[in-house]
Structure 1
Amino acid sequence: MKHGLISLIANIFCWERTESSLLSLNSYLFLLTMSNNHTTVSTYHIIIAADDSPISLKAINYAIDFCAKLSVPYQLNILYAIGLNPPGLSTFPFIGRLDRMNNLDIEEDAKKAINKLEEYLAKYQQTGSAKVIVRKDEKDAKYIIEEYVNNNPPDLLIMGSSNKESIQKLVLGSVSDYCLHQCKCPVTIIK
């Protein structure tokens, strides 16, 4: 145990940054725990919260590389959250019709994005067991992700961060920041 702690401290202070793989401290500790067989879980469950944005594809790449380093079986799932507009909150009937029409557009865009994600995953042979899980609700995507992750707790949640400008972040909020603080599991954020 003492040797493992010394090794961990040495590795934290001698951090190597390479372009091909940069492990976050969370991921490093996760790998260290698994390599020392401190847990008895037979399959590690990893969820990637993703859409079809470039940063989400980068998070998927990171997760696939991460899983390749595991010495135990793993289950990799991609969570795609569809946040719809709530129905008829306006006193003006035409606004409700616009919301419904907008929801149809959101759902159509989501279908295209999900197909793109499935095509992207098909490139990787080792993700044969990976599947795209779709959750749709009439709330913001960050709440959908939080609810799913907390009801189906994974060993690790991986997601991308889009680095919004400060005004955008203030008005819209950050999905990754929200999930980092609200999801009850280790979270790795890819930038």
Structure 2
Amino acid sequence: MYRTAASRAKALKLRKMKVEIAELAKNPMGLLMEAVHTAAYSGALANPLYAHESALDRLNGELLEEFMTENFTVARMVLAASGVEHEELLQVAEPLTSDLPNVPRQVEPKSQYTGGDFLQHTVFYVTTLIELFFGHLQATHFALAFEVPGWNNEKEAVIATVLQDDIYAYIDWRGNYDVVQSDAFRRDDDVEDDRVKNLMELIKT
């Protein structure tokens, strides 16, 4: 009886996961983030956040137990809380974590930025007023990424953040390519935006 209930629960969970993975294929932003990491890195950062649907059929109790033993350890966990005293938090957390294996954290393989490209044909339909005249439009989504050291290098991180906010490209419904710039990058002989000036100074330093 217990085994039958467990099997049903597993089947329901697998079905739910397959639905979530199928929904990801309809989400261009999620698909692009997966593709960017897969193409840009070798090592752990290249691993997808979502399992491939075919891999779900190979899941079993033994693999799940092995994964939990390896990853659900004290060294790999972080407990964060807000609005509670530290001692009070310890009283609640310690009984819940006392049976977790306290083993040294394994050395993780270093991810290497390699660069690359990833191409996948997936149809995304754009619904706009134009479809009243031209029907459904297929949209092309793409992402361009480059390596930055994150906020460990504040100068480059600030530049990347500003550029990300101010410059983006798109291909319109006629197939024309264009680069859109915010007003901060539209230069005028009489008016020079302080944001552009500060950014240029930051790049020079």
Same fold by TM-score, threshold 0.5 exceeded? no
Higher strand share: 1
Q: TM-score range by the shorter chain?
A: under 0.3
Looking at both structures, which has the greater relative contact order when contacts are Cα pairs under 8 Å and sequence separation is at least 6? 1
* TM-score normalised by L of structure 2: 0.20
Structure 1 or 2, whichever has the larger Rg, is: 2
